[in-house]
């Protein structure tokens, strides 16, 4: 079976590192990564724990396909109770770090307690030890990785770390690996910082050699890769344009939230799109996009590597940002751009690089800036308070704000609280475009009804990656549904949520689901882990994970009232586009969703549902 079979338990308070066997009964019930890591967290942590206290735990977890030759088998997740939301936080990342941990012989690392001083964990196959990180504290993610590779004399070392944002308590700080891949949402990096844990440096040379049926696995993985290659999205669109291919598409259907969701279309979407990234600039004649890039084992290669215009105001005196670096993906380009009315592609790339360098979520950051700009235009916030003129569309303000937030200075400290706390402080809580305290991604829930329901019911707060109904509602995958129609969406959302939980827990990228169904995943998991992992069994596991997460949130104090959307989406109709006049039909959809889930009228799993799922 392709689990490594052991986990590391690190007590930061005591300074101890111990190996223990993986609970194989749980592994078979929750698969790995998101599911298995969440099971450990929920079993060991009080749902009402203060997320930033030593009593909270934080877990790095791989899946059974992580580190194997399955396409996209490089994923890992970071699981904790999130400080941004107070809900369960489970944030997924690609790159190479997850595969390296698995190849060092570990399925998971559990950190408990808090260190009295900055430390990092060093892993070299079976050897694992806490080391002093005083020389790393205060350094960026980029510098931390450079120092560790140099001091440990290992250029192949893989590093997962926090930057200044995690140290300074930005509530949506990220955990970053491989310079620009991130477990980005819900403040997992903030928890890491609260424990004085700076980094995990891993070197693994063992490989993943315990696949149950190697010949069958190779055949299943090869067949699944062909499905990805033959698909228009995973074989052509994502490699060529990345996720940014969506910018113009979503804008055209009137589902691109603009200026803090006041509008649903951005008149300058084309200026910050994938097409703009491959068009030579007027200033220097060079293209913004340098190349695409793949994570470990990935045959899609949707990642972007970009190079800025060296004469742009944000970097003309900062040559350290002139080199090629991680480029804009759709969610970041939207949050830093359309959400604020900013059409300057170079300014978006600068802000994106700072988010990578200092480790914070560009979605929550950008969406919070949208709220700040609206408050500024209303006269609630002034230049004297925030330090800069900040009307919608100001690229200068965006770049000032990202620097302030990264450094934790001036008004940046308030931006680091997220939009829910910031708007409440200034008397306008309705201007936070968030669910459970987590800011929306790049799709409007009035015009695309299913994604609105997915936001409202997501266990980690507003999220597109917990049930990406855009695949069906916009792209027609696996079947086309009408975005403005709300009938049938509760069942669609549930199906996407359950399947996504299974994909995440296997240790593969959710982007494979543009081409794969569980029927493509099951043969790979069966060959790796055992014949019992049929398509139906994986769906059942996904449903079990979703309900387990829900039970944790309910115990933490969340109720039906938290399955909601901002007043703006419920009462202010879309002004333009195919969905003009629409508001979210959440009120009609939510009871049907609860019914489809086997929950009572208050959103609690019934005893029959829990018994059926083995909870």
Q: Are residues 465 and 423 in the same domain?
A: no
The CATH number linked to 543 is 1.10.599.10
Instruction: Establish if 39 belongs to a structural domain.
Output: yes
Q: Tell the residue number behind the tokens 């882990």, with chain if given.
A: 529
Instruction: Establish if 295 belongs to a structural domain.
Output: yes
Q: Tell the residue number behind the tokens 């302030």, with chain if given.
A: 404
Q: How far apart are CA 327 and CA 363, in angstroms?
A: 14
Residue 157 near residue 149 (C-beta atoms within 8 A): yes
- Looking at residue 207, its pLDDT comes to 94
- Looking at residue 233, its pLDDT comes to 96
Q: How far apart are CA 144 and CA 146, in angstroms?
A: 5
Q: Are residues 374 and 494 in the same domain?
A: no
Q: Tell the residue number behind the tokens 């930005």, with chain if given.
A: 170
Residue 507 near residue 62 (C-beta atoms within 8 A): yes
Indicate left, alpha or beta for 217 from its phi (over 0: left) and psi (-120 to 50: alpha).
Answer: alpha
Half-sphere exposure of 240 (CA within 13 A, CB side): 9
Q: Are residues 11 and 55 in the same domain?
A: yes
- Looking at residue 252, its pLDDT comes to 98
Residue-wise pLDDT for 109-161, tens only, equals 999 999 999 999 999 999 999 999 999 999 999 999 999 999 999 999 999 99
Residue 27 near residue 36 (C-beta atoms within 8 A): yes
Q: Are residues 487 and 387 in the same domain?
A: no
Q: What tokens appear for 366 in the block?
A: 């950008």
Phi and psi of 434, rounded to 5°? -145, 165
**Helices 395-407, 362-378: inter-axial angle, 10-degree rounding:** 120
Instruction: Establish if 454 belongs to a structural domain.
Output: yes
Residue 69 pLDDT > 90, yes or no? yes
Residue-wise pLDDT for 183-209, tens only, equals 999 999 999 999 999 999 999 999 998
Q: Give which of 320, 314, 235, 328 is closest to 278, Cα–Cα.
A: 328
Q: Are residues 48 and 90 in the same domain?
A: yes
- Looking at residue 209, its pLDDT comes to 86
Q: How far apart are CA 172 and CA 166, in angstroms?
A: 8
Residue-wise pLDDT for 234-285, tens only, equals 999 999 999 999 999 999 999 999 999 999 999 999 999 999 999 999 999 9
**Helices 535-556, 518-529: inter-axial angle, 10-degree rounding:** 90
For residue 22, what pLDDT band results from cuts at 50, 70 and 90? very high
- Looking at residue 479, its pLDDT comes to 95
Residue-wise pLDDT for 39-54, tens only, equals 999 999 999 999 999 9
Residue 82 near residue 50 (C-beta atoms within 8 A): no
Q: How far apart are CA 123 and CA 32, in angstroms?
A: 20
Residue 371 pLDDT > 90, yes or no? yes
The length of the chain, given as a count of residues: 615
Provide the domain count of the chain: 3
Instruction: Establish if 229 belongs to a structural domain.
Output: no
Q: Rounded mean pLDDT of 302-316?
A: 97
Indicate left, alpha or beta for 290 from its phi (over 0: left) and psi (-120 to 50: alpha).
Answer: alpha
Q: Are residues 588 and 537 in the same domain?
A: yes
pTM of the model as a whole: 0.98
Q: Are residues 262 and 186 in the same domain?
A: no
Q: Are residues 462 and 513 in the same domain?
A: yes
- Looking at residue 323, its pLDDT comes to 97
Mean pLDDT of the chain: 98
Give 400-418 as a 3 state SS string: HHHHHHHHCCCCHHHHCCC
Q: Are residues 404 and 521 in the same domain?
A: no
Residue 84 near residue 172 (C-beta atoms within 8 A): yes
Please identify, among 147, 178, 203, the residue that sits at the C-terminal boundary of a domain.
Answer: 203
User: What angle (nearest 5°) sits at the alpha carbon of residue 91, between those of residues 233 and 173?
Assistant: 115
Instruction: Establish if 94 belongs to a structural domain.
Output: yes
Helix or strand holding residue 99 (H, E): helix 97-103
Residue-wise pLDDT for 418-436, tens only, equals 999 999 999 999 999 999 9
Instruction: Establish if 124 belongs to a structural domain.
Output: yes
Q: Rounded mean pLDDT of 457-463?
A: 97
Q: Rounded mean pLDDT of 364-378?
A: 98
Please identify, among 143, 178, 203, the residue that sits at the C-terminal boundary of a domain.
Answer: 203
The CATH number linked to 366 is 1.10.569.10
Instruction: Establish if 111 belongs to a structural domain.
Output: yes
Q: Give which of 157, 112, 25, 18 is closest to 3, Cα–Cα.
A: 25
- Looking at residue 46, its pLDDT comes to 98
Instruction: Establish if 215 belongs to a structural domain.
Output: no
Give residues with Cβ within 8 angstroms of 506, minimum separation 6.
Answer: 31, 32, 33, 63, 64, 65, 70, 521, 524, 525, 538
Q: Are residues 477 and 608 in the same domain?
A: yes
Q: Rounded mean pLDDT of 347-376?
A: 98
Write the DSSP assignment of 294-362 as a string of letters.
--TT-SS--EEEE---TTSTTTTT-GGGSS-EE---HHHHHHHTGGGT---HHHHHHHHHHHHHHTB-H
Please identify, among 203, 232, 267, the residue that sits at the C-terminal boundary of a domain.
Answer: 203
Q: Are residues 363 and 487 in the same domain?
A: no
Q: Rounded mean pLDDT of 212-224?
A: 97
The CA-atom distances, in angstroms, between 254 and each of 265, 573, 581 are 5, 12, 11
For residue 1, what pLDDT band results from cuts at 50, 70 and 90? confident
Q: Give the domain range for residue 472.
A: 444-565+584-613
Q: Are residues 377 and 472 in the same domain?
A: no
The CATH number linked to 56 is 3.60.9.10
């Amino acid at each position: 079976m392709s689990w490594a079979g052991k986990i590391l338990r690190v007590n930061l308070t005591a300074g101890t590192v111990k190996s223990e066997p993986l609970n194989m009964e749980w592994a078979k019930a929750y698969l790995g990564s998101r599911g298995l890591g969440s099971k450990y967290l929920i079993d060991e942590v009080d749902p009402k724990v203060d997320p930033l206290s030593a009593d909270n735990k934080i877990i790095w977890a791989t899946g059974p396909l992580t580190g194997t030759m399955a396409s996209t088998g490089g994923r890992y997740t970071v699981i904790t109770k999130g400080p941004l939301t107070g809900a369960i936080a489970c944030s997924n990342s690609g790159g190479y770090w997850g595969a390296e941990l698995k190849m060092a012989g570990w399925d998971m690392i559990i950190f408990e307690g808090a260190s009295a001083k900055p430390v990092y964990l060093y892993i070299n196959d079976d050897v694992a030890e806490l080391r002093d990180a005083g020389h790393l504290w205060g350094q960026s993610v980029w510098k931390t990785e450079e120092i560790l590779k140099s001091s440990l004399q290992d250029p192949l070392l893989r590093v997962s770390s926090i930057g200044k944002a995690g140290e300074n308590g930005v509530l949506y700080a990220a955990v970053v690996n491989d310079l620009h891949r991130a477990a980005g949402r819900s403040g997992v990096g903030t928890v890491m910082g609260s424990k004085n844990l700076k980094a995990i440096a891993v070197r693994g040379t063992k490989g993943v050699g315990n696949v149950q049926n190697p010949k069958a696995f190779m055949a299943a993985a090869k067949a699944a890769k062909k499905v990805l290659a033959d698909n228009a999205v995973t074989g052509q669109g994502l490699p060529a344009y990345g996720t940014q291919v969506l910018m113009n598409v979503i804008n055209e259907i009137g589902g691109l939230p603009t200026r803090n969701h006041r509008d649903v279309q951005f008149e300058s979407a084309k200026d910050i799109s994938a097409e703009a990234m491959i068009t030579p600039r007027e200033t220097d004649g060079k293209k913004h996009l340098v190349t695409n890039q793949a994570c470990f084992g990935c045959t899609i290669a949707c990642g972007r590597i970009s190079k800025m215009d060296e004469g742009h105001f944000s970097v003309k005196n900062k040559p350290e940002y002139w080199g090629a670096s991680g480029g804009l993906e759709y969610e970041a380009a939207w949050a830093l751009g359309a959400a604020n009315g900013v059409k300057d592609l170079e300014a978006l790339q600068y802000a994106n690089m700072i988010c990578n360098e200092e480790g914070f979520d560009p979605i929550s950051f950008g969406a919070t800036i949208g709220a700040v700009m609206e408050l500024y235009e209303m006269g609630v916030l002034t230049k004297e308070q925030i330090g800069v003129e900040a009307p919608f569309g100001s690229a200068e303000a965006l770049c000032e704000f990202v620097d302030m937030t990264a450094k934790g200075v001036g008004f940046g400290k308030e931006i680091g609280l997220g939009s829910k706390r910031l708007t409440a402080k200034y008397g306008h809580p309705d201007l936070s475009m968030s669910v459970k305290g987590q800011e929306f991604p790049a799709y409007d829930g009035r015009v695309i009804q299913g994604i609105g329901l997915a936001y409202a019911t997501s266990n980690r707060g507003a999220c597109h990656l917990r049930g990406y109904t855009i695949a069906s509602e916009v792209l027609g995958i696996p079947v086309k549904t009408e975005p403005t129609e709300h009938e049938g969406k509760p069942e669609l959302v549930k199906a996407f949520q359950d399947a996504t939980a299974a994909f995440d827990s296997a240790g593969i990228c959710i982007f494979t689901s543009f081409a794969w169904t569980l029927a493509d995943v099951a043969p790979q998991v069966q060959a790796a882990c055992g014949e019992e992992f049929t398509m139906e069994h994986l769906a059942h596991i996904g449903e079990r994970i979703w309900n387990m997460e829900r039970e944790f949130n309910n115990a933490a104090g969340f109720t039906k009232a938290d399955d909601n959307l901002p007043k703006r989406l419920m009462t202010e109709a879309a002004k333009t586009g195919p969905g003009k006049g629409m508001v979210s039909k959440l009120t009609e959809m939510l009871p049907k969703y609860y019914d489809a889930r086997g929950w009572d009228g208050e959103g609690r799993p019934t005893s029959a549902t829990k018994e059926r799922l083995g909870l």
